[in-house]
Amino acid sequence: MTGTPNDGGTEPRISVVMPMLDGAATVHIQLEALAAQGFDEPWELVVADNGSTDGSLTIVEEWRSRLPSLTVVDASAQRGVSHARNVGVSTARAPLIGVCDCDDVVSTGWVRAMYDALQRFDLVGGRLAPEALNDEWSLGGRPTPAQSGLPVAGHFLPYAVGANTGLRREVFDALGGWSDAYRHGGDDVDFSWRAQIEGFSIGYGTDAVIHYRHRSDLAAVGRQYYRYAVMQAQLYRDFRAEGMQ
């Protein structure tokens, strides 16, 4: 049975939060995948727009007939994915939250898999599958995402990648959301580590698969990996007292 987001008459069991910034080239593919979810419980989609100027919002509005429980929220007061996620989750109505990005593609059973995994864990990281959306060059220059468990950063603790995350609302409330201090990466590591330090459980959603899109030009990849290096130093500053190597 193919489920659809509810029309507002019933409280959603899970909310999907999707931050967006200038996603006109890809967001329609993600929306099509979300509209095809095989989940027969009521759920909603919250698009947190971080200040798009490329027509992304117009594209999202065109999907209201197929995604009837769709909310678009203005998250442009501060640039950054952490702010957009925080605004989106604050707007969401369900006790369970799934987070995806506008340039990736969720698998058909993603919402169901996140919902099921969040019955067992407070925080969940799903599996990233890059093969379908990337060319050989993009795949060859990147490490292969973990296929059987959560990645571990800094020889310290596992984390849920922000592009494929599920969480219970109490985790968000306890942590105050994702930190705006991690503006160029590491926000998901910081969030996951703080959750575990606070005593929340974290697990791997094997069936919560998202087809993941890499950056495709050399300059963008270079900037990304530079920011990763800066992030590692920032994480060490913030977590060395907790045991990060």
Quick one: pLDDT band at residue 4, thresholds 50, 70, 90? Answer: very low
Query: What's at 226, amino acid-wise?
Result: Y
Distance between CA atoms of residues 94 and 51, nearest Å: 25
> For residues 128 and 205, is the Cβ–Cβ distance under 8 A?
no
**Residue 81 has what DSSP assignment?**
H
> To 10 degrees, what angle do helices 218-239 and 187-197 make?
30
> For residues 51 and 76, is the Cβ–Cβ distance under 8 A?
yes
What is the tens place of the pLDDT at every residue in 162-195?
999 999 999 999 999 999 999 878 999 999 999 9
Distance between CA atoms of residues 144 and 147, nearest Å: 8
pLDDT at 131: 84
What is the tens place of the pLDDT at every residue in 9-40?
589 999 999 999 999 999 999 999 999 998 99
Cβ neighbours of residue 87 under 8 Å, at least 6 residues apart? 48, 73, 74, 75, 77
Structure tokens at 238: 């913030």
